Amino acid sequence: AAATEITWRQPTNPDPTAHATVMRSRFVTLRIRPANRDIPRAADGSLPVLWLIAEWPSGKAEPTDYWMSTLPPDTPASTLVRLAKLRWRIEHDYRELKTGLGLDHFEGRTWLGWHHHATLVTAAHLFLTTLRLTHPKASGQA
């Protein structure tokens, strides 16, 4: 399969003088059947068909990153790439949960106490995410 150049993220900074980079690279997407004895098989004994997404930047001799996905066969390559590249968002949210909201500050000894703590931290994260999405900062505002 041929590599296709795909943009997965546009610059988010509205300031035209700021350095803003469009995030794009070349990708190959293929439907595959991964072979592994631990992968559950269908009733007929066949292995599942998955997407293989490989990032193959220009000038590189081979792909640099790989992902597999169970999304439907009609999923566009641009959607596969955008979702695969969401890792930075997940890492950001996890860092915010731990350091900003105190997920790692629990010092209790019971499962119920941990559950209460994690629930409150998750609710605080939901509140902050909703606030960030519904009331974004105005341009030039700190």
> From CA 142, how far away is CA 138, in angstroms rounded?
9
pLDDT recorded at residue 64: 92
pLDDT recorded at residue 68: 93
Give per-residue pLDDT as tens, 64-91: 999 999 999 999 999 999 999 888 788 8
> From CA 56, how far away is CA 64, in angstroms rounded?
6
Residues 6+ apart with CB under 8 A from 83: 69, 71
The answer on pLDDT for 140 being more than 60 is no
